[in-house]
Structure 1
Protein backbone atom coordinates (compact mmCIF):
# COMPACT_ATOMS: atom_id res chain seq x y z
CA UNK A 1 0.00 0.00 0.00
CA UNK A 2 1.54 3.30 -1.10
CA UNK A 3 1.85 6.00 1.54
CA UNK A 4 -0.50 8.91 0.74
CA UNK A 5 2.06 11.35 2.17
CA UNK A 6 5.37 10.33 0.56
CA UNK A 7 4.32 7.62 -1.96
CA UNK A 8 6.67 5.09 -0.43
CA UNK A 9 5.48 1.66 -1.64
CA UNK A 10 5.58 -0.16 1.70
CA UNK A 11 3.82 0.15 5.06
CA UNK A 12 3.06 -1.99 8.06
CA UNK A 13 -0.30 -2.68 9.67
CA UNK A 14 -0.44 -1.25 13.19
CA UNK A 15 -4.07 -2.07 14.02
CA UNK A 16 -6.82 -4.05 12.30
CA UNK A 17 -10.50 -4.36 13.22
CA UNK A 18 -13.91 -4.77 11.59
CA UNK A 19 -16.03 -1.66 10.92
CA UNK A 20 -19.24 -1.10 12.87
CA UNK A 21 -21.33 -2.49 10.01
CA UNK A 22 -19.08 -5.55 9.69
CA UNK A 23 -18.83 -5.07 5.93
CA UNK A 24 -15.15 -4.17 5.84
CA UNK A 25 -11.90 -4.29 7.78
CA UNK A 26 -10.33 -1.04 8.98
CA UNK A 27 -6.55 -1.13 8.95
CA UNK A 28 -4.33 1.48 10.57
CA UNK A 29 -1.01 1.57 8.73
CA UNK A 30 2.36 3.20 9.27
CA UNK A 31 4.66 4.18 6.43
CA UNK A 32 8.08 2.54 6.71
CA UNK A 33 9.74 5.61 5.22
CA UNK A 34 8.15 8.78 6.71
CA UNK A 35 6.51 7.00 9.72
CA UNK A 36 3.18 8.79 9.20
CA UNK A 37 0.00 6.84 9.83
CA UNK A 38 -3.03 6.42 7.59
CA UNK A 39 -6.19 4.30 7.45
CA UNK A 40 -7.30 1.86 4.76
CA UNK A 41 -10.45 -0.22 4.39
CA UNK A 42 -10.55 -3.73 2.98
CA UNK A 43 -13.86 -4.84 1.44
CA UNK A 44 -15.07 -7.86 -0.49
CA UNK A 45 -14.74 -7.50 -4.24
CA UNK A 46 -18.19 -7.79 -5.71
CA UNK A 47 -19.26 -8.96 -9.14
CA UNK A 48 -20.19 -6.07 -11.42
CA UNK A 49 -23.93 -5.49 -11.32
CA UNK A 50 -25.78 -4.00 -14.29
CA UNK A 51 -28.94 -2.00 -13.76
CA UNK A 52 -31.70 -2.52 -16.36
CA UNK A 53 -33.75 0.65 -16.61
CA UNK A 54 -37.42 0.92 -17.57
CA UNK A 55 -36.57 1.77 -21.17
CA UNK A 56 -34.38 -1.35 -21.44
CA UNK A 57 -31.04 0.45 -21.34
CA UNK A 58 -28.33 -0.88 -19.09
CA UNK A 59 -25.81 0.93 -16.93
CA UNK A 60 -23.48 -0.11 -14.12
CA UNK A 61 -25.06 -0.10 -10.66
CA UNK A 62 -24.02 3.02 -8.75
CA UNK A 63 -24.37 3.14 -4.97
CA UNK A 64 -24.06 6.93 -4.99
CA UNK A 65 -27.09 7.29 -7.27
CA UNK A 66 -29.14 5.08 -4.97
CA UNK A 67 -28.01 6.99 -1.88
CA UNK A 68 -28.73 10.30 -3.62
CA UNK A 69 -32.32 9.24 -4.39
CA UNK A 70 -32.88 8.15 -0.78
CA UNK A 71 -31.38 11.42 0.48
CA UNK A 72 -33.74 13.44 -1.73
CA UNK A 73 -36.71 11.53 -0.37
CA UNK A 74 -35.54 12.22 3.19
CA UNK A 75 -34.73 15.89 2.61
CA UNK A 76 -35.83 18.05 5.57
CA UNK A 77 -36.86 14.93 7.48
CA UNK A 78 -35.39 13.88 10.85
CA UNK A 79 -33.46 10.93 9.41
CA UNK A 80 -29.73 10.77 10.25
CA UNK A 81 -27.24 10.25 7.42
CA UNK A 82 -25.97 7.09 9.13
CA UNK A 83 -29.48 5.60 8.90
CA UNK A 84 -29.60 6.33 5.16
CA UNK A 85 -26.23 4.63 4.67
CA UNK A 86 -27.54 1.66 6.64
CA UNK A 87 -30.66 1.52 4.45
CA UNK A 88 -28.53 1.46 1.29
CA UNK A 89 -26.27 -1.21 2.87
CA UNK A 90 -29.34 -3.37 3.53
CA UNK A 91 -30.58 -2.98 -0.04
CA UNK A 92 -27.10 -3.77 -1.40
CA UNK A 93 -26.84 -6.92 0.72
CA UNK A 94 -30.08 -8.13 -0.83
CA UNK A 95 -28.95 -7.13 -4.34
CA UNK A 96 -25.54 -8.77 -4.21
CA UNK A 97 -26.93 -11.74 -2.29
CA UNK A 98 -28.93 -12.76 -5.36
CA UNK A 99 -25.68 -13.33 -7.32
CA UNK A 100 -27.43 -11.97 -10.41
CA UNK A 101 -25.40 -9.89 -12.86
CA UNK A 102 -28.39 -7.80 -14.00
CA UNK A 103 -31.22 -6.35 -11.94
CA UNK A 104 -34.15 -4.16 -12.90
CA UNK A 105 -34.51 -0.65 -11.56
CA UNK A 106 -38.08 -1.61 -10.57
CA UNK A 107 -36.79 -4.35 -8.27
CA UNK A 108 -34.34 -1.96 -6.62
CA UNK A 109 -37.08 0.68 -6.26
CA UNK A 110 -39.36 -1.82 -4.52
CA UNK A 111 -36.56 -2.81 -2.13
CA UNK A 112 -35.88 0.83 -1.29
CA UNK A 113 -39.57 1.57 -0.71
CA UNK A 114 -39.86 -1.43 1.59
CA UNK A 115 -36.95 -0.14 3.68
CA UNK A 116 -38.10 3.50 3.61
CA UNK A 117 -41.52 2.49 4.87
CA UNK A 118 -39.83 1.42 8.12
CA UNK A 119 -37.65 4.53 8.35
CA UNK A 120 -39.91 7.49 7.53
CA UNK A 121 -43.40 7.41 6.05
CA UNK A 122 -43.15 10.87 4.48
CA UNK A 123 -39.89 9.91 2.77
CA UNK A 124 -41.56 6.68 1.63
CA UNK A 125 -44.43 8.60 0.01
CA UNK A 126 -41.99 11.03 -1.64
CA UNK A 127 -39.91 8.19 -3.06
CA UNK A 128 -43.01 6.27 -4.15
CA UNK A 129 -44.47 9.32 -5.91
CA UNK A 130 -41.35 9.68 -8.07
CA UNK A 131 -40.66 5.95 -8.47
CA UNK A 132 -44.22 4.93 -9.30
CA UNK A 133 -44.82 8.07 -11.36
CA UNK A 134 -48.30 8.76 -10.02
CA UNK A 135 -50.40 9.99 -12.94
CA UNK A 136 -53.09 11.72 -10.89
CA UNK A 137 -54.25 12.44 -7.36
CA UNK A 138 -56.31 9.22 -7.18
CA UNK A 139 -53.30 6.92 -7.57
CA UNK A 140 -51.49 9.04 -4.98
CA UNK A 141 -54.44 8.68 -2.56
CA UNK A 142 -54.56 4.92 -3.18
CA UNK A 143 -50.93 4.65 -2.07
CA UNK A 144 -51.62 6.74 1.04
CA UNK A 145 -54.67 4.62 1.88
CA UNK A 146 -52.62 1.47 1.43
CA UNK A 147 -50.02 2.86 3.81
CA UNK A 148 -52.69 3.69 6.40
CA UNK A 149 -54.29 0.23 6.08
CA UNK A 150 -50.97 -1.52 6.67
CA UNK A 151 -50.33 0.66 9.71
CA UNK A 152 -53.45 -0.60 11.55
Structure 2
Protein backbone atom coordinates (compact mmCIF):
# COMPACT_ATOMS: atom_id res chain seq x y z
CA UNK A 1 0.00 0.00 0.00
CA UNK A 2 1.40 3.37 -0.98
CA UNK A 3 1.85 5.89 1.84
CA UNK A 4 -0.25 9.01 1.13
CA UNK A 5 2.34 11.20 2.92
CA UNK A 6 5.72 10.20 1.43
CA UNK A 7 4.76 7.79 -1.37
CA UNK A 8 6.73 4.86 0.04
CA UNK A 9 5.41 1.39 -0.76
CA UNK A 10 6.78 -0.02 2.50
CA UNK A 11 3.87 0.02 4.98
CA UNK A 12 2.71 -2.35 7.67
CA UNK A 13 -0.73 -3.13 9.10
CA UNK A 14 -1.10 -2.01 12.72
CA UNK A 15 -4.76 -2.95 13.29
CA UNK A 16 -7.59 -4.62 11.30
CA UNK A 17 -11.29 -4.77 12.08
CA UNK A 18 -14.60 -5.06 10.31
CA UNK A 19 -16.59 -1.89 9.68
CA UNK A 20 -19.89 -1.38 11.51
CA UNK A 21 -21.81 -2.44 8.41
CA UNK A 22 -19.60 -5.53 7.93
CA UNK A 23 -19.11 -4.72 4.27
CA UNK A 24 -15.41 -3.86 4.52
CA UNK A 25 -12.27 -4.31 6.56
CA UNK A 26 -10.80 -1.17 8.12
CA UNK A 27 -7.01 -1.29 8.36
CA UNK A 28 -4.73 1.10 10.25
CA UNK A 29 -1.38 1.23 8.52
CA UNK A 30 1.97 2.74 9.37
CA UNK A 31 4.59 3.82 6.88
CA UNK A 32 7.95 2.23 7.68
CA UNK A 33 9.81 5.16 6.09
CA UNK A 34 8.08 8.24 7.59
CA UNK A 35 6.17 6.60 10.51
CA UNK A 36 2.89 8.32 9.55
CA UNK A 37 -0.31 6.35 10.12
CA UNK A 38 -3.30 6.19 7.79
CA UNK A 39 -6.50 4.18 7.34
CA UNK A 40 -7.50 2.04 4.37
CA UNK A 41 -10.70 0.14 3.65
CA UNK A 42 -10.74 -3.20 1.87
CA UNK A 43 -13.94 -4.29 0.10
CA UNK A 44 -14.86 -7.23 -2.06
CA UNK A 45 -15.39 -6.13 -5.62
CA UNK A 46 -18.73 -7.55 -6.66
CA UNK A 47 -19.39 -8.35 -10.30
CA UNK A 48 -22.98 -7.38 -11.00
CA UNK A 49 -25.39 -9.93 -12.47
CA UNK A 50 -26.63 -9.12 -15.97
CA UNK A 51 -29.81 -10.44 -17.59
CA UNK A 52 -29.80 -10.96 -21.35
CA UNK A 53 -33.33 -10.30 -22.60
CA UNK A 54 -35.05 -12.17 -25.45
CA UNK A 55 -34.33 -9.31 -27.86
CA UNK A 56 -30.59 -9.49 -27.05
CA UNK A 57 -30.42 -6.37 -24.90
CA UNK A 58 -28.73 -6.56 -21.51
CA UNK A 59 -29.89 -5.06 -18.25
CA UNK A 60 -28.64 -5.32 -14.68
CA UNK A 61 -30.31 -7.94 -12.52
CA UNK A 62 -33.06 -6.08 -10.67
CA UNK A 63 -34.01 -7.80 -7.44
CA UNK A 64 -36.94 -5.43 -6.84
CA UNK A 65 -38.39 -6.04 -10.29
CA UNK A 66 -38.22 -9.80 -9.78
CA UNK A 67 -39.84 -9.63 -6.35
CA UNK A 68 -42.60 -7.40 -7.73
CA UNK A 69 -43.33 -9.97 -10.47
CA UNK A 70 -43.35 -12.76 -7.92
CA UNK A 71 -45.65 -10.67 -5.73
CA UNK A 72 -48.16 -10.45 -8.59
CA UNK A 73 -47.95 -14.22 -9.08
CA UNK A 74 -48.52 -14.89 -5.37
CA UNK A 75 -51.26 -12.33 -4.71
CA UNK A 76 -53.94 -13.81 -2.40
CA UNK A 77 -51.79 -16.90 -1.88
CA UNK A 78 -50.21 -17.96 1.40
CA UNK A 79 -46.67 -17.01 0.38
CA UNK A 80 -44.91 -14.50 2.60
CA UNK A 81 -42.73 -11.68 1.36
CA UNK A 82 -39.84 -13.11 3.36
CA UNK A 83 -40.24 -16.42 1.50
CA UNK A 84 -40.01 -14.59 -1.83
CA UNK A 85 -36.95 -12.66 -0.58
CA UNK A 86 -35.30 -15.94 0.41
CA UNK A 87 -36.10 -17.48 -2.96
CA UNK A 88 -34.54 -14.56 -4.85
CA UNK A 89 -31.50 -14.64 -2.52
CA UNK A 90 -31.11 -18.37 -3.15
CA UNK A 91 -31.20 -17.80 -6.91
CA UNK A 92 -28.64 -14.97 -6.68
CA UNK A 93 -26.38 -17.08 -4.49
CA UNK A 94 -26.64 -20.04 -6.85
CA UNK A 95 -25.66 -17.87 -9.82
CA UNK A 96 -22.71 -16.32 -7.99
CA UNK A 97 -21.53 -19.72 -6.73
CA UNK A 98 -21.59 -20.98 -10.32
CA UNK A 99 -19.71 -17.81 -11.40
CA UNK A 100 -22.57 -16.94 -13.75
CA UNK A 101 -22.64 -13.18 -14.02
CA UNK A 102 -24.64 -13.16 -17.27
CA UNK A 103 -27.85 -15.14 -17.55
CA UNK A 104 -30.53 -15.24 -20.21
CA UNK A 105 -34.02 -14.23 -19.18
CA UNK A 106 -35.18 -17.69 -20.30
CA UNK A 107 -32.74 -19.47 -17.98
CA UNK A 108 -33.60 -17.13 -15.11
CA UNK A 109 -37.31 -17.72 -15.69
CA UNK A 110 -36.82 -21.50 -15.58
CA UNK A 111 -34.90 -21.18 -12.29
CA UNK A 112 -37.75 -19.12 -10.85
CA UNK A 113 -40.33 -21.64 -12.02
CA UNK A 114 -38.42 -24.54 -10.39
CA UNK A 115 -38.43 -22.66 -7.08
CA UNK A 116 -42.08 -21.57 -7.39
CA UNK A 117 -43.21 -25.10 -8.15
CA UNK A 118 -41.94 -26.16 -4.71
CA UNK A 119 -43.57 -23.21 -2.94
CA UNK A 120 -47.02 -22.80 -4.51
CA UNK A 121 -48.40 -24.47 -7.61
CA UNK A 122 -51.01 -21.77 -8.31
CA UNK A 123 -48.31 -19.08 -8.21
CA UNK A 124 -46.24 -21.33 -10.50
CA UNK A 125 -49.06 -21.43 -13.09
CA UNK A 126 -49.64 -17.68 -12.82
CA UNK A 127 -45.94 -16.93 -13.35
CA UNK A 128 -45.64 -19.54 -16.14
CA UNK A 129 -48.63 -18.10 -18.00
CA UNK A 130 -46.91 -14.71 -18.25
CA UNK A 131 -43.34 -15.98 -18.62
CA UNK A 132 -44.09 -18.64 -21.22
CA UNK A 133 -46.65 -16.44 -22.99
CA UNK A 134 -49.35 -19.08 -23.40
CA UNK A 135 -51.06 -18.47 -26.73
CA UNK A 136 -54.24 -20.43 -26.03
CA UNK A 137 -56.04 -22.60 -23.49
CA UNK A 138 -54.39 -25.76 -24.83
CA UNK A 139 -50.92 -24.56 -23.81
CA UNK A 140 -52.32 -23.60 -20.42
CA UNK A 141 -53.92 -27.03 -19.98
CA UNK A 142 -50.73 -28.80 -21.06
CA UNK A 143 -48.84 -27.00 -18.31
CA UNK A 144 -51.54 -27.91 -15.77
CA UNK A 145 -51.31 -31.56 -16.80
CA UNK A 146 -47.53 -31.50 -16.24
CA UNK A 147 -48.20 -30.40 -12.67
CA UNK A 148 -50.51 -33.30 -11.92
Q: 1:118 to 1:134 in 2, by over 3 A?
A: same
Deviations 1:68-127 (A, max 9, x none): 111111111111111111111111112222213311001110000000001111100000
Corresponding position of 1:77 = 77
CA offset at residue 45 of structure 1?
4.7
Deviations 1:11-52 (A, max 9, x none): xx9xx9xxxxxxxxxx8x5xxxxxxxxxx3538653122110
Aligned residues between the structures: 113
CA contact (8 A) 2:95 2:101 kept: no
TM-score for both structures, normalised by structure 2: 0.70
Q: 1:101 to 1:142 in 2, by over 3 A?
A: same
Gaps of 5+ in 2: 1-16, 25-43
Kindly name which structure, 1 or 2, has the bigger radius of gyration based on alpha carbons. 2
CA contact (8 A) 2:117 2:124 kept: yes
Gaps of 5+ in 1: 1-12, 17-26, 30-39
RMSD (Å) for aligned C-alpha atoms: 2.0
Q: Residue 42 of structure 1: SS of its match in structure 2?
A: coil
Report the Cα distance in structure 1 between the residues aligned to 2:74 and 2:85, rounded to whole angstroms: 12
TM-score for both structures, normalised by structure 1: 0.68
